[in-house]
Amino acid sequence: MDNGYDIADYKDIDPSLGTMADFEPLLARAHELGLKILLDLVVNHTSDQHEWFKEAKKSRDNKYHDYYIWKDRNGDELPNNWGSSFGDPAWEYVEEVDQYYLHCFAKEQPDLNWENPEVRNSVYEMMRFWFEKGVDGFRMNVIFLISKDQSFPDGPVIQNKQYGSYYAGCANGPRVHEFLHEMNRKVLSDFDVLKRVMTEWQDKMYENDGWNSLYWSNHDQARAVSRFGNDSEKYRVISAKMLGTCLHMMQGTPYVYEGEELGMTNADFTEISEYRDLEALDIYYASGG
């Protein structure tokens, strides 16, 4: 239901669209044609048919119970006044555990509890699974809803609706930047992905008698140590040496962007007046800074 946005299995293909045996050659052929494949990443919620939720409903002591957002029953009162995107209450009662679970969308789409680090690690592991398959990236569905205000305040009632809006307590929540930064660090900037890409470059160049131009960065990109390594005082030099060794040991002609030979990192300014970059200043002042 909901056009596939209720995910029952994060590591398989919707049967209505085919099988993994169909997807893999599709991915390979797309890459042969110079096309990239992006998957829709739906991790604010799962389907109520997902094994995690089936287990979560069995007992409060079940490991997967804390994968979702539950509130104890208080008589006939709902945990708060939130309504779902589809007009019904955003809370659904489960008799087996005598609790309500949150669903910002349909009741068949229970929201994941991103406060639980095991949830986040399960999501990151799933993302790595698809990157290892060879997909090129993700379009992240309602990713701005993954961090909830843990006080779960009532939302404003707008347009004479029966229930309040969940947006105030869910949209761009207090930890959303932290969660996305963690995702970037553990998956999107993961060196294993980078290793796969660099290996593919080398293999294809070698097979076709090619000769590559090797570089980490330029004036339009972040410093290599900050982008691919760790620019803290403890690891900056180690990261710079690792990146330099990797680049200069590959087949091709290496290019060193000024400052790279020193292990230079991104700027660490604290005042906007310290910046002399037109794009950075334009963005700052356009946003009301």
88-134, pLDDT tens digit by residue? 999 999 999 999 999 999 999 999 999 999 999 999 999 999 998 99
Q: What is the pLDDT of residue 222?
A: 84
∠ CA 23-43-30 to the nearest 5 degrees? 25
Report CA-CA distances (Å) from 251 to 112, 199, 234: 45, 11, 30
Out of 188, 204, 228, a domain closes at: 188
**Mean pLDDT of the 11-30 span:** 94
In the predicted structure, residue 4 carries a pLDDT above the cut 90: no
CATH of the domain at 153: 3.90.400.10
Q: What is the pLDDT of residue 192?
A: 66
Percent of the chain with pLDDT over 90: 69
Q: Tell me the per-residue pLDDT of 52-75, one tens digit each, with 9 for 90 and over.
A: 999 999 999 999 999 999 999 998
Q: What is the pLDDT of residue 199?
A: 83
Q: How would residue 82 be classed by pLDDT, with cut points 50, 70 and 90?
A: very high
**Pairing mode of beta strands 137-140, 213-214:** unpaired
Q: What is the pLDDT of residue 275?
A: 83
Tell me, yes or no, whether 166 and 181 share the same domain. yes
**Mean pLDDT of the 177-195 span:** 84
Q: What is the pLDDT of residue 122?
A: 97
In the predicted structure, residue 1 carries a pLDDT above the cut 70: no
Tell me, yes or no, whether 180 and 232 share the same domain. no
Tokens of 75: 């008589």
Tell me, yes or no, whether 96 and 230 share the same domain. no
Task: Please state which of the ranges 27-36, 105-114, 219-228, 233-242 shows the lowest mean pLDDT.
Answer: 219-228
In the predicted structure, residue 2 carries a pLDDT above the cut 70: no
In the predicted structure, residue 286 carries a pLDDT above the cut 90: no
Overall number of domains in the chain: 2
Tell me, yes or no, whether 31 and 99 share the same domain. yes
The residue range of the domain holding 164 is 1-188
Spatial distance between the Cα atoms of 277 and 267, rounded to a whole number of angstroms:
11
Tell me, yes or no, whether 167 and 202 share the same domain. no
In the predicted structure, residue 193 carries a pLDDT above the cut 80: no
Tell me, yes or no, whether 32 and 169 share the same domain. yes
**Mean pLDDT of the 224-239 span:** 90
Tell me, yes or no, whether 16 and 37 share the same domain. yes
Tell me, yes or no, whether 203 and 216 share the same domain. yes
SS3 content of the chain, % helix, strand, coil (to 5): 40, 10, 50
**Model's pTM, two decimal places?**
0.68
Tokens of 273: 């007046």
**Mean pLDDT of the 153-178 span:** 94
Nearest to 109 by CA among 139, 128, 95, 88: 88
Tell me, yes or no, whether 105 and 224 share the same domain. no
Q: What is the pLDDT of residue 262?
A: 93
* Residue found under tokens 């963005």: 283
**Contact status, residue 141 vs residue 63, Cβ threshold 8 Å:** no
Percent of the chain with pLDDT over 70: 98
Maximum Cα interatomic distance, the chain, rounded to a whole number of Å: 74
Out of 168, 188, 208, a domain closes at: 188
Tell me, yes or no, whether 25 and 123 share the same domain. yes
Out of 188, 222, 250, a domain closes at: 188
* Residue found under tokens 């539950």: 70
Tell me, yes or no, whether 37 and 116 share the same domain. yes
Higher-pLDDT residue of 251 and 61 is 61
Tell me, yes or no, whether 24 and 93 share the same domain. yes
